[in-house]
Structure 1
Amino acid sequence: MKQFTRRAFPWPMLVGIVLIGFILRGPIIAVAPITGILRADLGLTAAEVGLLTSLPVLCFALVTPLASFFVGRGGANFSTTVAIIGVGIGSIVRSSGGVEAAFVGTVIMGGFITIGNVVVPVLIRRDVPPQRVGIVTGAYTSALNVSSMITSLATAPLAEAFGWHVALLAWLGFVVIAAGGWMFAVGPRAAFRFGPVAPLIETGAVDTVVIDTGRIDLRPTSAAEEARRPRTWRSASALLLALAFSGQAFAYYGLTAWFPSILVQELGFTVTAAGSSSSVFQIAAVVGALGVPLLSQRIGVPRTFALVAALWLSCPIGLLLAPSSWLAWGFFGGVAQGGGITIVFMLIVQLAVSGTHARGLSAMIQGTGYALGATAPTLIGAVHDATGAWGAPLAVVGIGTLAFTAAGLAGSLRATRGTRQSVIER
């Protein structure tokens, strides 16, 4: 299958994708800096407040198959619009009452964010030239982490000044901005049109050849090419990437939920100072998200993955052995988590041979990863409650980074070798 893309870079779509990234992590990460306030006001245990943090991730795992089906039926544009609106509704519900509203609103947010998680790789594959996939993916994952950084920095001060209800509702502003950016990217008519905009292209029923003059030639996919398309669950590369993403998600959500508490209990930080200081874990992710695409072009994906893995491993080990150097470990871990999710998403788009295949890969890898990642905040909180210290919980995080390292290195080697062979065959 040969595919050539438009020479003009789709800047409006890049803006839309980046702004959508702001609503897919930041609003749910906002809970982490105010776990102490929520525990006191709502009477929650450490495991229960960990569940409040992990519920969206659990939704990512459970709802991903339904989200993938919905994206296939509704089309990428309509599904993105629904995701944005749903996150806004969830934000309002979460901030409207007590324990029940907090949990129900969080579940609503998690369900619609899942649609966004699945659809963004489809948008990138559909609308972004192959040579720009790494940069756009890096910009998207940077947006995930910048929004998490902003909420980590600002939620605790807002909660202390106005209460936690207002502090969480404030991030509805991200949703409004994302909606405006998405309307700018595709227009209101396309945003609300149900069904794939170009179904033959999105499903891979035809190959797309875009000539320099702008003429689009559609060639039916041959039976031989159709037969060569990999079965997602039978692909060793996809399974290894799913395991790597599981380790990435587990370590990320575990540290995001409990890093502020570690600073409070181990180093004597105030709640506000801990929330602000722990944001380095989100800030540094921008370095990884934007640096990985550039570095992989120079030294290759497997070597880049090895560097990211080494930084990931240093974070829980460093916090365990030398917690006073938390700033260095938080920075290294932040670079690693931003680079880790970027490189996995790059490999998803690289492995995909059609829009349908991209959707399937995205759903399988993210669904599996988030299923395990969802257990991290609750499990780590429970281990801390049982031991009364942070040594054992950090060791549990270390297991996640080891899984990311081993499976990711093997998966990146297989995926890169497979892509090179596919190019030779074509």
Structure 2
Amino acid sequence: MMRTTGRSALPWVIAGIVMVALSLRAPIIAPTAVIAQIREGTGLSAAGAGLLTGLPVLLFAIATPLATRTIRKYGPETTVALCLAGVLAGTLTRSAGPAVVVLAGTALIGAAMTLGNIAVPVLIRRDVPWNKVSAVTGAYSATMNVGSMAVLLGTAPLSGFAGWRWAIAAWSIITAIGLGYWLVRRRSAPAAVAPPAAAAASPASPAASAPHAPERTAAQKAHTRRIVALLVLAFCGQSAAYYATTAWLPLMLTETRGLAPAASGASASLFQVAAIIGAFGVPLVAARSRLWVAGAILSGFWIILPVGLLAAPQAFVLWSIIGGVAQGGGFTAIFSVIPRISRTDGEAAFASARIQGGGYLAATAAPPVAGWLNTLTGGWTAPLLLVLASTLAFTVGTLIATRLSDRA
């Protein structure tokens, strides 16, 4: 398969990105559907079981330098193939042994996913036409949510039929298909990402009017650094709000609204499903106005979630849907900025690594801090104020970064 950024190749590019997206969150979600069976079968404590979701997110933060170096040395196609191979190996390992093997497989999954997290924005910057970047980023974000929901809904029935080990291993079939696709695609890919000073501009970039991207002035470099710093702040807020809400919303609804665990889980799942609306809504709004307008709408939606749960908790279904739209669109808005400000693959990889490194550290800290606040105060007001503070950080970072990127 010849690699090309022409219009005829775009569907293949999008197909490859979608295949990656299906394997970048679902393996983390799968154990949550059968966590009781995993604990019973392995003897994991509650804290150990928490590592099944917390460990990959922590590795997203600490393994980003490895991902950046891998992209620079081998190129994004090979990096994606390594990502999927690692996820496949980790998923099978996690299903095959006692507690220590389960956690080792989980760690491998997290480290491998980090490669894909950083490589996909590089691929989008290089291979997707400028006017379709937000739409493809939205498809990427939406596919992660769709994959997560499919796994969440399908793992428990599979476990009842074949046991939890086979249930969480079965999803590796999707990863194997994606790996086969990318092994074929990488054959004609360049060996590595060119250094920023010498790399040619992507045809999808505004810098494509010249054969090579001109050297940036000191003012232009400082402008880009400011935008990246703001995106770090935005993604810290996005990730902290998302993971704290995901971790504690079901229990909060059980304790405050008297819902049965199954009902609270179903209600909280609306927070995940509605993300699809936000992921595809951002490119629609951005195409008709500016990206910062979409960012402003999402900021308002994000803030409504904790404020609504504090002021009118009986309307939790509405607040869950509004917050879900915000979290799906927020990811799309943040990562749509990277191709706008990056003139080379190396710059895109560096920006993606910085943004995700900071954001996933916040994601690692937010759920336990929210749980500690709940224990300390005996209620959910303090955890919701933490979510509110996170959404305000998202608002400040996103609004300023998108406005600056419109002028970049």
TM-score when normalising by structure 1: 0.85
Select 1:244's aligned residue among 234, 258, 261: 234
Q: Does 1:375 align with 2:365?
A: yes
Q: How has the CA–CA distance of structure 1 residues 304 and 15 changed in structure 2, closer, same or farther, with 3 Å as cutoff? A: same
1:260 lines up with 2:237 in the alignment: no
Task: Report deviation, 1:331.
Answer: 1.0
Q: Structure 1 residues 389, 355: CA separation in 2 closer, same or farther (over 3 Å shift)?
A: same
Deviation per residue, 1:33-87 (Å, 9 max, x gap): 4455556664533x55444322111111100011101111011111110000001
Greater shift, 54-63 or 317-326, is seen at: 317-326
Report what 1:107 is aligned to: 107
| CA deviation vs aligned residue, 1:349-392 (integer Å, no higher than 9, x gap) | 11111111111111111111111111122222333344443333
Q: Specify whether residues 402 and 160 from structure 1 end up closer, same or farther in structure 2 by C-alpha distance, changes over 3 A only.
A: farther
SS in 2 for 1:205: coil
Q: 1:99 to 1:238 in 2, by over 3 A?
A: same
The separation in 2 between residues aligned to 1:131 and 1:201, in whole angstroms, is: 25
1:424 counterpart residue number: none
Post-superposition Cα deviations, 1:4-31, rounded to whole Å, max 9, x if no partner, equal: x734451111101011101111111233
Aligned residues: CA RMSD: 2.9
In 1: Cα distance, 2:161 partner to 2:248 partner: 23
Q: Sort the Cα spacing of 1:300 and 1:60 in 2 relative to 1 into closer, same or farther, 3 A.
A: same
Distance 1:229 1:74 in 2: 28
Q: What is the CA-CA distance between 1:294 and the residue it aligns to?
A: 0.9
Question: Do the aligned partners of residues 77 and 279 (structure 1) sit closer, same or farther apart at CA in structure 2, a change above 3 Å counting?
Answer: same
Contact 1:240 1:410 in 2 (8 A): yes
User: Given the alignment of the two structures, is residue 206 of structure 1 paired with residue 197 of structure 2, yes or no?
Assistant: no
- 2:392 paired with 1:407: no
What is the CA–CA distance in structure 1 between the aligned matches of 2:171 and 2:48, rounded to whole Å? 23
Counterpart contact for 2:129–2:203, Cα < 8 Å: no
The answer as to whether partners of 2:304 and 2:319 remain within 8 angstroms in 1 is yes
Q: Tell me, yes or no, if the aligned pair for 2:295 and 2:330 is still in contact at 8 Å.
A: yes
Is 2:287 the counterpart of 1:297? Answer: yes
SS at match of 1:353: coil
Task: Choose the corresponding residue for 1:230, options 212, 215, 221.
Answer: 221
> Unmatched 5+ residue regions in structure 1?
211-215, 420-426
Q: Specify the alignment match of 2:68 in structure 1.
A: 68
Which residue is 1:195 aligned to?
Answer: 191
CA change 1:12–1:183 in 2 (3 A) is: farther
1:213 corresponds in structure 2 to: none
* Counterpart in the other structure of 1:356: 346
Q: How many residues in Structure 1 have an aligned counterpart in Structure 2? A: 401
Contact in 2 for aligned 1:53/1:257 (Cα 8 Å): no
Q: What's the secondary structure of 2:191's corresponding residue?
A: coil
The reply to whether residue 179 of structure 1 matches residue 175 of structure 2 is no
Secondary structure of the 2:327 match is helix
TM-score, scaled to structure 2: 0.88
Alignment equivalent of 2:211, drawn from 204, 213, 219: 219
User: What amino acid does structure 1 have at the position aligned with 2:221?
Assistant: P
> Residues 16 and 178 of structure 2 are in contact (CA less than 8 Å); yes or no, is this contact kept in structure 1?
yes
Higher alpha-carbon deviation: 101-110 or 236-245: 101-110
1-structure distance, mates of 2:389, 2:11: 40
Shift of 1:139: 0.7
